[in-house]
Structure 1
Amino acid sequence: MNKPDFNTLTADNIVAFIGDIFERRGADSYVGEDVTMSQHMLQGAQLAEQAGAGDDLIAAALLHDIGHYTNEFPDDALEQGIDNHHDEAGAAVLDRFFPSAVTDCVRHHVAAKRYLCATDPDYFDRLSDASVHTLGLQGGPMSAEEVAEFAKNPNIDAIVQVRYWDDEGKDPTVTTPDFWHYAPVLERIVSRQAAGAA
């Protein structure tokens, strides 16, 4: 699939577009980790599915790092309001097609790491070396004021849960279904969202 103009992405083609990215770019390394990007995201989705999560959480776990691929989107993406931070960039791309229950998890999965480091004394020990390194780059644990503000998000429980799956989904020995196993989940959400906007 050729890189479309941002405005040509629709509810009818967004899932196929994301699937094409997984197929072409999924083997990209996940810097500092022992898994590829697709292994990582598919493990997150599988953990959500195994936990009996609903469609929105499965989708959020699957797509939380899609912002690493924003160079797949138009060269004028920044002009379209898409930042180059992978959490914000991914959410900005998905905002048109997915509900906030999904996009908030994508947008805030980095902040959730900072939140949990400030609120859960055992959480830091769960982080991989690469996540510890990026924690410093991302601002370190939240301040008390940041924690209080972050906790106001109506999707806070989902955001934190996706973060836990994010941290767990880094095992090179795990086998997962491929992207297309989860495509019907995304299609249901996108269709529901499109119907609601109609």
Structure 2
Amino acid sequence: MDLTGRIEQLFAAHGHVPYEGARREAISALAHALQCAQLAEWANADESLVAAAFLHDVGHFLAAEAIARSDRVDDRHELLAIPFLSAGFDESVTEPVRLHVEAKRFLVRVDPHYARQLSPASLHSLALQGGAMSDDEIDRFEALPFARDAVQLRRWDDLAKQPGKPTPSLAYYLALLEDVRERPFTDSLTGIGATDLA
């Protein structure tokens, strides 16, 4: 099965399962992913960032298949997703996904109003994820190439929790993933792409 097919399978198996306990949100994981990607599109984000917005929580599905979920343990979903997604996506997709939890910790520290808008589930996970960043962590985070994209993704993530909101379908975003995967890869550090190699 190819990567897009596996992503579709993960959403079919886990996307409609509600979060329970302290992780409870008002909508399903699938509705959250669709809303997050829609918000990215409405902001005229690059297709790679729309893909990252859609895929940012896929690591929760991988964690659910690998370990027993606990309200008292951070499942590190943002890191679990990276080896899986790296099989078909470059860092313009994987890095915002990897950094979206750190972006929450960053925003809590730099925006005095940010924490007040977080859902109870997001506040709970924030405590498990280390809370607000230190000064050193802020400096390191801001120096990362995809930090800005991760912060944008984080803000859409926080807004994408509206019950009953109409969105494009799962099939629509799966097709977008295929479009992103079919683009020639360009290394953001060197500027060399697959089509530039002899």
d(CA) in 2 for partners of 1:177 and 1:23? 16
* Cα contact 1:98–1:193 (8 A) shared by 2: no
Identity fraction in percent: 39
Residue type of the partner of 2:62?
Answer: T
Shift of residue 32, structure 1, vs aligned partner: 1.5
CA RMSD of aligned residues (A): 2.0
Among 134, 156, 172, the alignment partner of 1:165 is 156
Aligned to 2:194: 196
Shift of residue 169, structure 1, vs aligned partner: 0.6
Among 4, 24, 35, the alignment partner of 1:32 is 24
Among 150, 154, 157, the alignment partner of 2:145 is 154
The 10-residue stretch of structure 1 (154-163 or 182-191) with the greater mean CA deviation from structure 2: 182-191
C-alpha distance 92-174 of structure 1, shift in aligned 2 (>3 A)? same
d(CA) in 1 for partners of 2:154 and 2:79? 15
Is residue 140 from structure 1 mapped to residue 126 from structure 2 by the alignment?
no
Secondary structure of 2:109 counterpart: helix
Is residue 22 from structure 1 mapped to residue 11 from structure 2 by the alignment?
yes
When the two structures are aligned, how many residues end up with a matched partner? 178
Deviations 1:22-44 (A, max 9, x none): 12321011332111110111110
C-alpha distance 72-116 of structure 1, shift in aligned 2 (>3 A)? closer
Question: Which runs of 5 or more structure 1 residues have no equivalent in the other structure?
Answer: 1-8, 76-83
C-alpha distance 130-15 of structure 1, shift in aligned 2 (>3 A)? same
Deviations 1:79-113 (A, max 9, x none): xxxxx521100122111211111101111111110
Aligned to 1:104: 95
Question: Which runs of 5 or more structure 2 residues have no equivalent in the other structure?
Answer: 67-74, 186-192
With structure 1 as the length reference, what TM-score do the two structures score? 0.83
Aligned to 2:51: 59
The 10-residue stretch of structure 1 (151-160 or 59-68) with the greater mean CA deviation from structure 2: 151-160
Deviations 1:145-171 (A, max 9, x none): 000001111111111000001100111
With structure 2 as the length reference, what TM-score do the two structures score? 0.83
Secondary structure of 2:163 counterpart: coil
Shift of residue 184, structure 1, vs aligned partner: 2.1
